[in-house]
Amino acid sequence: MKKEYDLSKLKGQKNPYASQLKKQITIRLGTDVISYFKELAVETGMPYQNLINLYLRDCVVSEKKPHLKWTR
């Protein structure tokens, strides 16, 4: 390995997969849900939106489904 590299000749390239990684959406969440994840964000030092994404990803991977019971 070289001790020094000349990075001035490198051209910046966009990640071709970036558009497939995440998609911006609008979603309505309860204020209590947002507060919970914001508090968790302070504890972990991770942005709350990333925490929400990680939780939802875990639901997808483990195929969790909500238990809904409709009453009349």
**59 half-sphere exposure, CB direction, 13 A CA radius:** 9
The 10s digit of each residue's pLDDT in 21-70 is 888 899 999 999 999 999 999 999 999 999 999 999 999 999 999 888 88
Name every residue whose Cβ is closer than 8 Å to that of residue 58 and which is 6 or more positions away in sequence.
Answer: 64
Give dist(CA 32, CA 41) in Å, integer. Answer: 14
Locate the domains of the chain by residue range.
Answer: 29-63
Tell me if 40 sits within 8 A of 53, measured CB to CB.
Answer: no
- pLDDT (0 to 100) of residue 63: 96
pLDDT of residue 15: 76
Q: Looking up tokens 């972990």, which residue turns up?
A: 44
